[in-house]
Amino acid sequence: MAHLPSRSFQAYQVFSANTNVGKTILSAGLVRAAAALSVGADKRKTKAFYLKPVQTGYPVDSDARHVKRYAPLAETRQLYAYRDPVSPHIATNDPPKDSVVLEETKKALRTFKESLMTNEKGWALLETAGGVNSPIMSGELQSRFYRPLRLPTVLIGDSLLGGISTTLTSYESLHQYGYDIPALLLFDNKSLNHQFLERHLTNAENRPQVYVLPPPPTKLEDPEADAAQLQEYYQATENYFRHVVEDLAQSHQQRLDRLESLGDKARDLIWWPFTQHKTVKEVTTIDSAYGDIMTTFVPPVKDNAIKSNTGTTTNNLQEGSWREMFDGCASWWTQGLGHGSPELTRSAMYASGRYGHVMFPECSHEPAVQLSETMLRTVGQGWASRVFFSDNGSTATEVALKMALKSSQDRYRNLGQKAGRIEVLGIDGGYHGDTIGAMNACAPNTYNAQVTWYKAHGHWFQPPTVVYKNGQFRVDIPASMAADQKPVPPVLINNLSDVFAQPSPADARLDLYRTHIRSTLERLVHEEKREFGALLMEPVLMGAGGMIWVDPVFQRTLVDEVRRFKGFGEALPPKSAEVAQSKNTWQGLPVVFDEIFSGCWRLGRKSAADMLQTQPDIAAYAKLLTGGLLPLALTLTSDSIFNTFLSDVKIDALLHGHSYTAHPMGCAVANTSLRTYERMEAHGDADQARRDWGADAASDGTSGVWSLWDQKVVERISHLDHVEGVVPLGSVLAIQLKPEQGRAGGYASMLSQKVQHQLRVTESPNSETEVAIFGRPLGNVVYMIASQVSTREQLAKVEKILLRTLESH
Amino acid sequence: MAHLPSRSFQAYQVFSANTNVGKTILSAGLVRAAAALSVGADKRKTKAFYLKPVQTGYPVDSDARHVKRYAPLAETRQLYAYRDPVSPHIATNDPPKDSVVLEETKKALRTFKESLMTNEKGWALLETAGGVNSPIMSGELQSRFYRPLRLPTVLIGDSLLGGISTTLTSYESLHQYGYDIPALLLFDNKSLNHQFLERHLTNAENRPQVYVLPPPPTKLEDPEADAAQLQEYYQATENYFRHVVEDLAQSHQQRLDRLESLGDKARDLIWWPFTQHKTVKEVTTIDSAYGDIMTTFVPPVKDNAIKSNTGTTTNNLQEGSWREMFDGCASWWTQGLGHGSPELTRSAMYASGRYGHVMFPECSHEPAVQLSETMLRTVGQGWASRVFFSDNGSTATEVALKMALKSSQDRYRNLGQKAGRIEVLGIDGGYHGDTIGAMNACAPNTYNAQVTWYKAHGHWFQPPTVVYKNGQFRVDIPASMAADQKPVPPVLINNLSDVFAQPSPADARLDLYRTHIRSTLERLVHEEKREFGALLMEPVLMGAGGMIWVDPVFQRTLVDEVRRFKGFGEALPPKSAEVAQSKNTWQGLPVVFDEIFSGCWRLGRKSAADMLQTQPDIAAYAKLLTGGLLPLALTLTSDSIFNTFLSDVKIDALLHGHSYTAHPMGCAVANTSLRTYERMEAHGDADQARRDWGADAASDGTSGVWSLWDQKVVERISHLDHVEGVVPLGSVLAIQLKPEQGRAGGYASMLSQKVQHQLRVTESPNSETEVAIFGRPLGNVVYMIASQVSTREQLAKVEKILLRTLESH
């Protein structure tokens, strides 16, 4: 991006450990040294810039004026100035919006950069106000406010008594926001703080270089005499500052060298998941991420074939540059609270400091107990009473299967001894993860086709599906479902929430589904003599299978019918008092919901089960559970499943576990995530979206169903000829494209890849309303997943590009 | 522990955001208010204590004197005093050891507590010096130095301009070490910092209560007049301070209420891994952990049956109390750098702030690339060229299996089409995790006996094993290995490193092993017509199987013979140019090492493969990889395996992945862990242990093999009658007990549980040389696993108790 540094445009920010530690004096010294740099081997001279976004106490105080006076060759700029010499958040009653201040700051940097002649290089310093965590006008902390730029930081330490502490705490706070701190500057003082700091930081990651500078002269009352002695000071310290500036330049070049090499290194050393390495074209180097935005780095184009549609200036192309991209795949469907969430970082670091990781079996710790309480109160409410911890969706599914299958074996006499194998019932197109157990519970598909040990252990129903097309919700029912195998006319529904409501008596689906399910179960069990131990499915939306929206009416009917069916085996009396006294005793087969993708407010409501108005006996959660920061998964279950494993014999227990089971950091982060989702719900953050999609008129007594994506935009997309249909549910927007003639559909399709490529290279990504979009192809489906905190403003930008791209296709 | 708070003994520490923000004045006010508390409903009056561990500028300055003057009812104590009014780390050239200062601090608190009469309650305040991150005498930061106590913190904020930043950065630094901060105190000032801070912290986890107090009078030159006005100030502000003290008391009681309930809550809500809930007796509540120590909370004994051997005073038993325990199982074998490692926290928070989690396929980010480089340079050196990321040992094993089996299928014509199933070769007693794929690669055992979908897919060799008994290393060879099935005499070896060396020509093992392996392979493949796709094993030490030390000579021979065997199938020509040109082309079968337990310096050397002097084709790592903080796993592999998956067809790729694949936080933490292990090795941290175990005399040109546990102690244990043998390798010390007559052995055995129980309840856990030990039973094996940074001092305490307990058994 034009406001971010490049090879020939260095930019830094100055933060200080405290007020009155010499920030402006040192800033002026640095700018002065930069402006005085001699012409280098590249024959280009350096132009120095100084930017003071916020000045208080103006015009008595003006840091920009001070810098200009002692570094007259530099161009200086001040953006916002207030008369009171107080913190910016109390200097004005009419604070400008953060987004505006940030835009102005970016613009100033961009202007600096664009003003450079071809024989010039740029060097810019942005001076913040007060300390690291001092607020700007809106009350946002500066450390957070400037984070989207993530400029390398010069930290001005405090050299007086007590200054070690303020310097280190400031360093730690900056570090916590992911800033790089190449330089730490202090004045020389008898406290010798610089010596201590240098020693202390020796082994730190990305440790700053510590510089000690001669202290400035004591301020004189006579302004002219003061200016004269300062002039003298700057002349006497020239070498010190030049040394810092030269080191910074070196670290800048090294940073770029490393960034330029990262893509190739990854390609050479890493084996990516789900990736055919032979066909990889472009590697995306992610330098950092914040909120919905990933700041990627585009290395210089090596040949001269510079394409015009990549949206960067020729200069950027030759030099390599950063590019901000909207994370349209929510980083594999994980993002709930955005990248680099300060709240999640705080929770993580507290848990890390308090516990690290601790042993879990027969142990208790606060984050795990709190998480269990929250999950049972929310997604588990009314049915679940136990929480099992593991690491990812796949392991959570395996745990669920172990629980369910053993429960069935325990209830039904000789189950598994006849056919030698106990199977699951499921839905075709489902996906539950990549470990063998989870794979075996899926129908044969692209993912498992080449896996040596894969064996299909189940029967999977062909599901009726829903899409939004031409402004209406259309339920397509497979012909195989009708007794006569003849095509069934689709059912059309006008309102999103009504897709989830109980159908009217005139609706033929209920009877059709019921009859089909019953006859299938009869055939499987009585004719084919197959044995089943669980019903496993993704409620509402089958994600990896291609964003397939299953008719909620079908899923509800399936659960009901499986619970009613009497043929799964000859039930034994309960083996123990605990089993006999279980609450929520499962019926028919244990019903397992894979809510890894759909759970934790992804689709708007707390769980897909809540949208179906159906309760499982076991359910698995991951992804959004930890807000998008780190791995953790949970399997919730009812009393009645748990009690099956109770006995006096140790090895009757569920002998499953992972080393980092219930690691406190993951639990703490999940607690913060869930607390935030709950607060957003209570606060009505989605109320506008609910109204737009008519969810506030839901007739079934629930809070209805809505999409975070704009109703009008989604409707327009639904009318496009080459769009098969759209799935707008909560933060998910999936667009199924019609397959190209004669080409493969599904996961193997390359169709969405073309659209995704176009989304990446917008024509003017630097403009305020444009944004490049990072997406991930999924066969013929183009999908966008927002985080739970994406703003309407941000989504509107994405919608604009998406619509334009799809319409031009 | 007697130095930690209890129901009737509150203790707090005061930290301040900066020097000169009124820490001592506010401390005195709090102590004064505590001493003035009226007798409560329990008829007990409150005695106030004040502790100043370190005072500089003494005797001119004395905070304890100040407190005593204005809170004369309180007992005050000062431990270390220095004349210079400077930071403690430069106030003395002869700093006392941190451990001594900490012990003195604990003793002072203990003395306070023990001085209480039965009609008294205690209230103690510990005042730190300088700011949060100011150093103490040794140069250690106070924030870290006081961490083992983890006292609830009263933070004194800075109320002046700029004070928001120093207060928040200090808050964040304390938070990062896992401190609870129930109160934040500031003076009233026109900057209104308290208002901002209160608003800013509204949604923070464990948010502090913010208190604003009237500012103290400006200091007068005349000491008497100054004292008089301060006296007046304290009288005028009595209500303010009482309010704070009352709130603190409430938070103290709530904290204890919650801690007391945590064990029962966990028992009620959580489904623990590997736990038979019906037989759980004691739940360990872990309140925090630091280094090797877990600070557990023991709730009050409800009945009057107070046992004398629990090592706490009657008072503690009735009230509930904290107990420090050595984490003897390294929290499920994960701990490398100790609990709550500040370095790991820092790395984690930086990565969290910089990225959160980001998408991985076809993407690159610094922490993942750096981790790949480090792994390939260390454990992968000489054989590996690719790194695949997943979440835990089980998934890393499944990935390894998918890689290996497909590679075999790709090379051998029609492999798997004949027998319908491709199996693995392995070693009986091995364990590779709990997902179905990893389970199927293990021989039938206790763990998989009850798993519905478990199917043994392999042949597992009975291994010859090694134990240390009576001061010698004894190799036991199964009789089944001899051609005549007759018992084979054990081989005795004197030096640990020699167990790993190539045996002398006189040693019959080589020929015996070779013949046995060859004939077994012939039988399996040619007679039984079985098909194999991989050799999978834990090199050197089979952990979960019962800490079984396999004869390294056998494992080396097995790898060699499998690589030499020609019968695994009819090899096809390489299917592509990439495969044909692979480096390190695998022979026979892909050899997979499960280094999840043994890898990353656990056993002293970087990997068990390094100890075997044998290189695998694929290897899996987890646990110590992240130093003991959070889940991450890696599968390393050679070029030749990777190239098998190259093609122009997307679905020929390894279609495996997890949402949080290569999450930056995990990678960053792993980088710091590996960097630390490498540094320790380069620094020769284990040199003393190497000498003690004779590893410095290793004759095979390697760095030998050693144990971190004391050679003399281990030798004594090896002589005990009821000890079958000992396994002393790196940080692992496993003691196999002889099975009791007529009882089950192996995992089902309850034998080690008895010993572990005794280790938990030492007679005098408060004494300097005693420590309670938290262990986890593993059938008939008692094991202790240290972290890589456990000190000799700490291990010596553990060895003393361990030896005494085993000798008394």
CB contact under 8 A, A450 and B406: yes
Predicted pLDDT at A742: 63
Task: Inform me whether the pLDDT recorded for B259 exceeds 60.
Answer: yes
CA nearest neighbour of A432 among A293, A196, A621: A621
Residue A301 exposure: Cα atoms within 13 Å on the Cβ side: 14
Do B276 and A172 lie within an 8 Å CB cutoff?
A: no
B326 bridge partner residues: B293, B773
Q: What are phi and psi of B110, to 5 degrees?
A: -60, -40
Q: Do A660 and B392 touch (CB under 8 A)?
A: yes
Among partner residues A169, A289, A438, which is closest to B170 by beta-carbon distance? A169
Strand A732-737 to A781-785 pairing:
antiparallel
Answer whether residue B267 shows pLDDT above 60.
yes
Please give the C-alpha separations between residue B63 and each of A352, A366, B22, B32, B113, in angstroms, as whole numbers.
33, 36, 11, 14, 21
Residues in chain A, pLDDT under 70: 1, 303-317, 419, 741-750, 762-769
pLDDT at A757: 84
Within 10 angstroms of residue B107's Cβ, the number of other Cβ atoms is 14
pLDDT digits (tens, 9 = 90+) for B369-409: 999 999 999 999 999 999 999 999 999 999 999 999 999 99
A133 with B398: Cβ contact below 8 A: no
pLDDT-based confidence at residue B306 (cuts at 50, 70, 90)? very low
DSSP-derived secondary structure letter, A220: P
For residue B368, give the nearest of A270, A344, A401 by CB distance. Answer: A270
Question: If you average pLDDT over residues B184-192, what whole number do you get?
Answer: 95
Q: Which of A360, A645, A651 sits opposite B449 (nearest CB)?
A: A651
Tokens 């390190």: give the residue: B584
The residue of chain B with its CA nearest to that of A331 is: B359
On average, the pLDDT of chain B sits at: 93
CB B132 within 8 A of CB A165: yes
Tell me the C-alpha distance between A778 and A753, whole Å: 8
> Given this model, what pLDDT does residue B312 score?
41
| Best residue in B355, B364, B532, B626 for a mutation probing chain A (most A CBs within 10 Å) | B364
Domain residue limits, chain A: 9-261, 266-333, 368-458+531-682
With CB atoms and an 8 Å threshold, state whether A270 touches B369.
Answer: yes
> Which residues of chain A make contact with B155, given a CB cutoff of 8 A?
none
State yes or no: pLDDT of B666 exceeds 50.
yes
pLDDT given at position B763: 57
- Inspect the interface and report whether the beta carbons of B269 and A679 lie closer than 8 Å: no
Q: B368-458+531-682 adopts what CATH topology?
A: Aspartate Aminotransferase; domain 2 (3.40.640)
Cα distances (Å, whole numbers) of residue B198 to A87, B162, B195: 16, 16, 5
**What pLDDT sits at residue B367?**
98
Distance from CA of A276 to the nearest CA of B (A): 5
Among chain A residues, the shortest Cα distance to B342 is held by A353
Residue B436 to residue A435, Cβ atoms within 8 A:
yes
Note the ipTM here: 0.97
How far apart CA B775 and CA B783 sit, in angstroms, is: 7
Interface test with chain A among B143, B160, B167, B172, by most A beta carbons within 10 Å: B172
Of all residues in chain A, the one with the smallest CA distance to B287 is A365
* Whole-number pLDDT of residue B139: 97
* Residues in A touching B289 (Cβ below 8 Å): 354-356, 358
Are B266 and A622 an interchain contact pair (Cβ–Cβ within 8 Å)?
no
A679/B203 CB distance under 8 A? yes
Choose from A581, A630, A780 for mutation: most chain B CBs within 10 A: A630
Which architecture does CATH list for B9-261?
Answer: 3-Layer(aba) Sandwich (3.40)
Among candidate residues A782, A793, A801, A424, the one with its CA nearest the CA of residue A594 = A424
In this predicted structure, what is the pLDDT of residue A307? Answer: 45
B359/A665 CB distance under 8 A: no
Which 3 state secondary structure label does DSSP give B619?
strand
CB nearest to A651's CB, from B131, B363, B446? B446
Work out the number of other CB atoms within 10 angstroms of the CB of residue B487: 11
pTM of the predicted model as reported, rounded to 2 decimal places: 0.96
Nearest one of A204, A176, A192 to B139, comparing CA atoms: A192
Interchain proximity B650–A386, CB inside 8 Å: no
**What per-residue confidence (pLDDT) applies to A756?**
85
Query: B774 vs chain A: nearest CA distance in angstroms?
Result: 10
pLDDT at B696: 86
pLDDT(B768) > 70:
no
B591 contact partners, CB below 8 Å, separation of at least 6 = B534, B535, B559, B562, B563, B616, B617, B618
Flag if B391 and A631 touch (Cβ within 8 Å).
Answer: yes
What one-character-per-residue DSSP string does A343-410 give?
HHHHHHHHHHHHTSS---TTEE-HHHHHHHHHHHHTTTTTT--EEEEESSHHHHHHHHHHHHHHHHHH
Instruction: Provide the 10 A C-beta neighbour count for residue A235.
Output: 10
For residue B749, what pLDDT band results from cuts at 50, 70 and 90? low
B659–A345 CB contact, under 8 Å? no
Nearest alpha-carbon partner for A324 in A8, A774, A769? A774
- Best mutation target among B337, B363, B671, B780 (most A Cβ atoms within 10 Å) is B363
- Mutation target among A21, A255, A272 for the B interface, most CBs of B within 10 A: A272
Closest CA to A803 of A724, A716, A731, A725: A716
Q: Identify the pLDDT of residue A791.
A: 95
* Beta carbons of B349 and A352 less than 8 Å apart: yes
* Size of the A and B interface in Cβ pairs below 8 Å: 642
CB contact under 8 A, B453 and A437: yes
Integer Cα distance of A783 and A316 in angstroms: 30
Which one has a higher pLDDT value, B679 or A313? B679
Q: Which two tokens stand for residue A352?
A: 């890390």
Structure tokens at B154: 């009263």
Which residues sit opposite A12 in a β-bridge? A125
Q: Is the pLDDT of residue B314 over 50?
A: no
Closest residue to A166, CB basis, from B18, B277, B533: B18
Give the closest-approach CA distance of A393 to chain B in angstroms: 8
By Cβ distance, the residue of B130, B342, B623 closest to A165 is B130
Query: Is pLDDT of B424 > 90?
Result: yes
pLDDT at B229: 96
Do the Cβ atoms of B358 and A339 come within 8 Å?
A: yes
Residue A451 to chain B, least CA–CA distance (Å)? 7
